[in-house]
Structure 1
């Protein structure tokens, strides 16, 4: 059965994430140690005990990457390997690590830098993000077009056919939220994030990050990795630097990416990392998909029982 690992993005973090894997598997602890060494800080302490830092973007991003990679490594030891991988925004880095395209320690440093640049890109209060539930892409795009005549707003995420995320100036997002409600959205929810991610407002941060990526060595991909920007598989590792730069300012085409993966023969989607948001997105994209998620050893054991059964 062709299996895809799909890796969690920012927003999935919570205090204690990954602790059961850390306590149970020496290989998971070793991965936490590598991440701590790469950043010269105690990542296990942040993940398990630091209620403040776990929600600060420069720490959140390496923390989620570390938890996701530790779980994927244990799954590999237990004989569950991906045939391809993808992730939501930050999760694409975990997907590239799973493919061998980026070394784990290098990825930890990259996402720490990425998180810092994203956090600093737009002054506090000047940008916002909001989720729109119950309108299709065409309706939300049309709202963005009408608002952007005066205040910039764009679609940051195509999560499911009826859940999209807005990003832009504070005024632009507020106007778009009102319009979405007027046009029949079931719910419109402002997101608790530190900036207008996946929008052109992050262009200065993307330019700076591009410089960082240009100094990085990337390796050949051992399995296909699907890009948030194009929704298709990376052509080769030569595209990594360009696509990760683009990803900061471009829409995350998660729904389109999952559909293309299914067209390419994926039959089993496993969300790897904290939370189960992507599992719920995949179910909403197509009810015939039966995704699972692994964030605790008990879920891995269930998956192993199914595989052996």
Structure 2
């Protein structure tokens, strides 16, 4: 008998060609209720893009976000089919929308409407307010915060992701990100890597998307969550629909405090296992870095789900 489980859902960057195809081919109800339903709602073949489309197109924000959400929820349907629940849900950026859907805050298709609009707006923001992001590894948070503070009078530069004690991501205007990267390397960062995105997500550079995103979120009748989400915005257990609606809006420009979320869950729930549901295994790796004794599994295929069930 498994103890308390926490479901984790990945964000943008976890997409890959072929994701979800095994579910599409194996289960008629998943094919109809997720892949075909998404294609119908969006008016284009998102499923084909996931299975055999152009890799560069799949990487673009406008398509990557609904694609990851769709596949994550199709995988989650396996857990529902076998009545496997959880004690809480968490998600990394985009993954919070999957988490809310898993907790029954809105239906799959309602969430898809929001996610598709979020991806479109962010793609548009990239084109109108270009910026960039970079991963900074092996540097203390305080040191990186001081570096960002140094350049803040010149424009927008901030820590966008707190993934671990020394695994951070900065976001902001191109020239300031470049300056911060050089200074971080000079300060002793083990690795400094420009991320393959053309936008400054989780920063004020994309604040112009908020009014349209708010309108989209408010157009959906959110329900009280059946299990709590620990949001990256307030690092607290939330079930109230108004609070959920607000954090889903705020998190677009707020930093992703993943380390804080995971530590909160570890502290307040006697978690038996963290289960990452969706393409990729980034979150599983981050949890293991925070606690090497944590029991973690990533489920990104039918084969992995079946293997996990047997354990």
Assess same fold via TM > 0.5: yes
Give 3-state SS (helix, strand or coil) of 2:230's partner.
Answer: coil
Match of 1:12 in 2: 14
Match of 1:225 in 2: 229
Runs of at least 5 residues in structure 2 that lack an aligned partner in the other structure: none
Instruction: Tell me the TM-score normalized by structure 2.
Output: 0.95
Count of residue correspondences: 306
Give 3-state SS (helix, strand or coil) of 1:303's partner.
Answer: helix
Match of 2:280 in 1: 275
How much has 1:249 moved relative to structure 2? 0.6
How much has 1:287 moved relative to structure 2? 1.4
Q: Retained in 2: the 8 A contact 1:27–1:70?
A: no
Summarize the Cα distance change of 1:182–1:124 in structure 2 as closer, same or farther, 3 Å threshold.
farther
Match of 2:46 in 1: 43
Q: Retained in 2: the 8 A contact 1:133–1:185?
A: yes
Deviation string 1:129-161 (CA, Å, 9 cap, x unpaired) is 000011122121111111213232101100111
User: Within 5 A, what are the aligned runs for 1:47-196?
Assistant: 47-51=50-54, 52-123=56-127, 126-196=130-200
Cα distance between partner residues in 1 of 2:184 and 2:52 = 39
Runs of at least 5 residues in structure 1 that lack an aligned partner in the other structure: none
Q: Retained in 2: the 8 A contact 1:25–1:74?
A: no
How much has 1:79 moved relative to structure 2? 3.8
Deviates more, 1:35-44 or 1:172-181: 35-44
User: Within 5 A, what are the aligned runs for 1:239-254?
Assistant: 239-254=243-258
Deviation string 1:267-309 (CA, Å, 9 cap, x unpaired) is 3101110000000011111112121100012211221111xxx
RMSD: 1.4
Deviates more, 1:2-11 or 1:115-124: 115-124
Could you tell me which of 288, 291, 296 is aligned with 1:291? Answer: 296
How much has 1:109 moved relative to structure 2? 1.1
